[in-house]
Amino acid sequence: MSSLNVISRMLQRKNTASGTETATSWRSRLRGHTPSVSFEDHPALGTLRMLTSAAQRFGIGDPFFKVHEGAGGHHTQIEGREYLNFSHYNYLGLNGHPAVNAAAQEALARYGTSAGASRLVAGERPVQRALEKALADLYGVEACVVFVSGHATNISAISTLFGPRDLIVHDSLIHNSVLEGIRLSGATRRSFAHNDLQQLDSLLTELRHGYERALIVVEGLYSMDGDLPDLPALQKIKSRHKAFLMVDEAHALGVLGDTGRGLAEHYGLGGDAADIWMGTLSKTLAGCGGYIAGSQALIDILKFAAPGFVYSVGLSPVLAAASLKALQIMQREPERVLLLRERASLFLSLAREAGLDVGTSQGCAVIPIIVGSSRKAISLSNQLFDAGINVQPIIHPAVEEKAARLRFFISAMHSEADIRQACRVLSQAVRGKAPGREAEDA
Ligand SMILES: Cc1ncc(COP(=O)(O)O)c(C=O)c1O
């Protein structure tokens, strides 16, 4: 089974809330059908097979599920070959950092690998609390709670805090985990065109009065386009319409602001700029898990009512220790954040000079190269891979077909030479010149 198709199928769910067909319409269509007892006739499998054979027909290789033989970072090894890597969220180079590894090993020796059970009932470890305190302090808010997955954090938090009497309005490019959380909450969902805050304002003017609570959800740094929302304007809109504001900082932490504190720092604002700060431990913080930071009341609700926290095991102490150490290094070494900014803006300007389409990217760690078709994106990704550069294609339906792209994640660890090499090879490939491995070309 081609992993290309698995990804394509999974990505299909990124921008659409699934489950739109009603139970009634299903039931009427199923009348007279033989009951299904095999996954072989599952519609998802049909789609997978169709996509596999289409990819084979087009002679497109499969750029997904590559096996990396070492720590994920700015360089990587795949099947014994070295690659320049732009497919990892190691924004500040903290994955595999000796001090992060040492903290994880210490926690491993002391606590073992598992938190054992739900923290609510089975108790917790000091390192989980220390991480939450450090994150709350970072945002300048009262409290924080960590979950075992970033994706589950959004689902569990949104569906616990909001319900059928509420309205949730989100940016059209919001992450799938937010959409799934909204779907589970039963709230009314509306989206506004990407970063179009006038449309957000109009939607709230039109609809707000009919609902008990209203929530606006945006990302701190958009993971597909690498651009940002206007937080000061969002603050005004949320106050005017008496709405809550939630910012998903998955890609903003460690990237935005002079010390990496995210969107609020970028705009010179404090933790009270949003009501719900969400983030993941899997990117800058070199771990796995997610967090919500905000008022004590918010965190108390989640700690006692969010199923993804109450009925799920606590974050592994090993991962909590790793992320806590990564956070401390980020705060101690703000030069990493500045270096990341330098590298990303170099990439952005070289790409622009080469006439490549970088969309609305602000040059903050996430830089798309829009190439106009899924087929071209996959083919370019394969060509770059052959030339020693690992970068993932983002294809339809994750984005519109004409917006299919290669998405580069920049790390503070990329050297200037890495960035120049990637842009050179990329522009050759886009212009139709087959790039070779630099070493092999020499
Ligand atoms: C904006 C955003 N939110 C949430 C998540 C989920 O985080 P995780 O992968 O850590 O579960 C992601 C993942 O990439 C993301 O990009």
pLDDT by residue (tens digit) across 312-354? 999 999 999 999 999 999 999 999 999 999 999 999 999 999 9
Which of these, 319, 323, 325, lies nearest to 113 by C-alpha position?
Answer: 319
Pair (130, 72) in one structural domain: no
Pair (188, 166) in one structural domain: yes
The pLDDT score that the predictor gives to residue 34 is 76
Q: Please say if the pLDDT value at position 71 is more than 90.
A: no
Where among 305, 332, 359 does a domain terminate? Answer: 332
Whole-angstrom distance, CA of residue 344 vs CA of residue 366: 8
Query: 370 lies in a domain?
Result: yes
Query: 240 lies in a domain?
Result: yes
> Does the CB atom of residue 282 touch ligand 1 within 6 A?
yes
Query: 197 lies in a domain?
Result: yes
Percent of the chain's residues with pLDDT above 90: 77
Pair (265, 149) in one structural domain: yes
Task: Looking at the CA of residue 288, tell me the nearest atom of ligand 1.
Answer: 10
Sign, CA dihedral 118-141-301-148, equals negative
Using a cut of 0.85, tell me whether the model's pTM lies above it.
Answer: yes
| C-alpha 146 to ligand 1 mean position (Å) | 14
Query: 357 lies in a domain?
Result: yes
Q: Please say if the pLDDT value at position 293 is more than 70.
A: yes
> Does the CB atom of residue 219 touch ligand 1 within 6 A?
yes
> Does the CB atom of residue 52 touch ligand 1 within 6 A?
no
Pair (127, 79) in one structural domain: no
- In one-letter notation, the amino acid at residue 194 is H
Q: What is the residue whose two structure tokens read 């490939």?
A: 429
Whole-angstrom distance, CA of residue 318 vs CA of residue 101: 9
Task: Looking at the CA of residue 219, tell me the nearest atom of ligand 1.
Answer: 1
Pair (154, 208) in one structural domain: yes
**Structural domains of the chain, count:** 2
Whole-angstrom distance, CA of residue 155 vs CA of residue 308: 8
Where among 332, 362, 383 does a domain terminate? Answer: 332
Query: 122 lies in a domain?
Result: yes
> Does the CB atom of residue 177 touch ligand 1 within 6 A?
yes
| C-alpha 205 to ligand 1 mean position (Å) | 30
Surface-to-core class of residue 189, CB atoms within 10 Å of its CB (0-12 exposed, 13-18 middle, 19+ buried): middle
Of the listed ranges 22-36, 194-208, 311-325, the least confidently predicted one is 22-36
Pair (229, 138) in one structural domain: yes
Domain housing 415:
56-85+335-441
| C-alpha 354 to ligand 1 mean position (Å) | 31
Confirm if 269 and 304 have CB atoms less than 8 A apart. no
Pair (246, 293) in one structural domain: yes
Query: 32 lies in a domain?
Result: no
Pair (309, 171) in one structural domain: yes
| C-alpha 152 to ligand 1 mean position (Å) | 9
Which whole-number Å values give the CA distances from 2 to 6, 8, 66, in the listed order? 7, 10, 12
The CATH number covering residue 393 comes to: 3.90.1150.10
